[in-house]
Amino acid sequence: MKINDFSVPRRMSKSAFVILFMKALQSYMSLFLILVVFKFFGSLRENSFMENIMMLLFYVAGFLVLALVTSFLNFYFKKYYVKDHNLVFIHGVIHQERTSVPLNKIHSLRTKSGFIYRLFDMKGVSFDTLASKTEEIEFILNDEDWNALLDCVKIQEKSTIEEPDDETTGQKTCSNAAIKKLEVSNQNLIKGALCQNHFKGMVILFSAFAAFYNQITAVNEKATEYFIDYVGTQSGSFIWSIPSVLVAVVILYVVMLFFWLGTVFLHYYNMDIQISEKQLFFESGLISRNSSRFSFDKVCTLYVKRNFIERWFGYCTIIIKQALNATDKKNGTEIKIYGSSHDGDLLNWWLGKDYKSSSTILSAQSGYGFLGYTIMLDVMIVFSIAIVLCYYGLYVWLIIPLIYMMISLVKGLLAVRQSYIQLKEDYIKVSNGKFAKVCNYIKYNDIEVVRLVATPFTSYTHRLKLIISTNGTSFTIRSLKEQEAKDIYELLLLKCYNH
């Protein structure tokens, strides 16, 4: 069999087995460490030094054997080949499954190259289609096999996207549109990351503290009591004045900001974006290089956000949202581009070069009923905090919920102003956002569900809620005028049927 012959079932290379073994070790590592801590240190005083060493070696051997068996089964019972323009996967130990995917129906090719992958010059490759309801199967291929398999896919794509006969020669020609590269420098990436709403990261930070506390409580009750006593002692000696609270908030914010920038840099370092007529290629990452090559038809929504800082720098945040399969729902596949001004390029690619000239057929704006919905939770929180502060006589601190409520009111008014839907001749534009303006662009043929919802107050307010769903996204436009909402609903059904 030739090195790059995909006509017969073949396994992955031996280097792939090593990577599978390392991944198995990593997946069982936490279980192994917990077992060692409880078993080894729990019997440390009862056994001799040699007995403890033998026990540790026994657990290590069991750990290695388990990882070895898992990786062997994953390697040996997984094959792939190309037959009759189909990419065929054979996998499964007890129940062997055979999955066939037409090469011209592959809408997404994803690769990842972490440290271990790059150490062996390998790539983790995943394939999926729009119709796939099961999780993707990852194959670990070397560069030569990956490029050869990718060529098979490209050849099939070219054979299915042929242009009409040439009028002069009468021969068919293939579409070979030029590839356009979109530049996003690392400097712009950092600037774009700094433009985001970092206060949302506070939730993540406090969640990490909560997870840390749960780990402590799960390990040892005495450790939990010690932790609580220590915090109580330290908090008793701390002077909870307004300046000290502000200092603590600033420190937390700086820590969170540091981790946020590190996360963005790790995921999106040296971003490479290339677009052709029907394909988009995206690759980024500092330590682990992840790439996604997906079809024009896999995109279900283009999201463009501009807050006042981004408008000042001339940037925007772009999210390319794809139709979801089982793996997408589990891991998420949104492509985020920070610090960019390429929204026009991507909209030209997806909606067509004349998308700006597409005329507006119908539009509707949310009413002030949406204001109440936006600030309802904030009102409940502020009211509860105010009661607690008044109960303890901390009237000076009421300034904080008052300021928060004023900010919430501004947020609600901006949300009402920026919430609307426009039905263009060729696409739909859904605008939302609060302190930032967010525009979501949707094609009519991607819409799967349209719902018109009446609330208990509709008979008095004559306002309705409109819900639009695609295979990967869902949008709710609230407090629309009843007649406008019904007109848009009917037109959406007509447009979706025609497309």
Tokens of 197: 């709403």
pLDDT in tens, the chain (499 residues): 445 567 788 888 888 888 889 888 888 887 787 777 776 666 555 667 777 778 788 888 888 999 899 999 888 888 888 887 778 888 877 777 787 777 766 767 778 787 788 788 888 887 765 555 555 667 888 877 877 777 777 666 666 554 444 444 444 434 445 788 988 889 889 888 888 876 655 555 565 555 555 555 554 555 555 555 655 555 555 445 667 767 777 787 788 788 888 888 888 999 999 988 878 888 898 888 888 887 777 889 999 999 988 988 889 999 998 876 544 555 556 789 999 899 999 999 999 888 889 999 999 999 999 999 999 999 999 999 999 999 888 888 899 899 999 999 999 999 999 999 999 999 999 999 998 999 999 999 999 899 999 988 888 899 999 999 998 899 999 999 999 999 999 999 888 877 6
Q: What is the dihedral of CA 135, 137, 143, 147, to 10 degrees?
A: -80
44: left (phi over 0), alpha (psi -120 to 50) or beta: alpha
Looking at the fold, whether 289 and 379 belong to one and the same domain comes out as no
Beta strands in 395-435 (DSSP E): 420-424, 428-432
Looking at the fold, whether 342 and 390 belong to one and the same domain comes out as no
Measure the CA–CA gap between 410 and 378, rounded to whole angstroms: 12
Residue of 277, 276, 264 lying closest to 184 (CA atoms): 264
Q: What CATH number is attached to the domain comprising 145?
A: 2.30.29.30
Report the SS3 class of residue 340. Answer: strand
**Domains: count for the chain:** 3
Question: Within a domain: residue 486?
Answer: no
Looking at the fold, whether 207 and 343 belong to one and the same domain comes out as yes
Looking at the fold, whether 141 and 20 belong to one and the same domain comes out as yes
Burial status of residue 199 (CB atoms within 10 A of its CB: 0-12, 13-18, 19 or more): exposed
Question: Within a domain: residue 445?
Answer: no
Measure the CA–CA gap between 197 and 103, rounded to whole angstroms: 41
Looking at the fold, whether 216 and 281 belong to one and the same domain comes out as yes
Q: What are the φ and ψ backbone dihedral angles of 182, each rounded to 5 degrees?
A: -100, 125
Looking at the fold, whether 320 and 375 belong to one and the same domain comes out as no
DSSP string, 170-181: --EEE--PPPEE
Looking at the fold, whether 97 and 220 belong to one and the same domain comes out as no
Looking at the fold, whether 197 and 343 belong to one and the same domain comes out as yes
**Can you give the pTM of this predicted structure?**
0.73
Count how many residues are written for the chain. 499
Looking at the fold, whether 213 and 261 belong to one and the same domain comes out as yes
DSSP secondary structure code for residue 132 in this structure = -
Beta-carbon contacts of residue 453 (< 8 Å; ≥ 6 apart): 464, 465, 466, 467
Tokens of 299: 């995109």
What are the C-alpha distances in Å from 371 to residues 245, 437, 463, 479?
Answer: 31, 16, 13, 9
Report the SS3 class of residue 112. Answer: strand
Question: Within a domain: residue 469?
Answer: no
Question: Within a domain: residue 152?
Answer: yes
Looking at the fold, whether 325 and 375 belong to one and the same domain comes out as no
Question: Within a domain: residue 320?
Answer: yes
Question: Within a domain: residue 484?
Answer: no
Tokens of 283: 């690759």
214-221 long-range contacts, CB within 8 A, separation 24+ = none
Looking at the fold, whether 146 and 231 belong to one and the same domain comes out as no
Measure the CA–CA gap between 101 and 82, rounded to whole angstroms: 9
State how far Cα 103 lies from the chain centre: 26
Q: What are the φ and ψ backbone dihedral angles of 263, each rounded to 5 degrees?
A: -65, -45
CB-side neighbour CA atoms (13 Å) of 415: 19
Question: Within a domain: residue 233?
Answer: yes
Give me the domain span that covers residue 403.
370-414
Question: Within a domain: residue 281?
Answer: yes
Looking at the fold, whether 152 and 233 belong to one and the same domain comes out as no
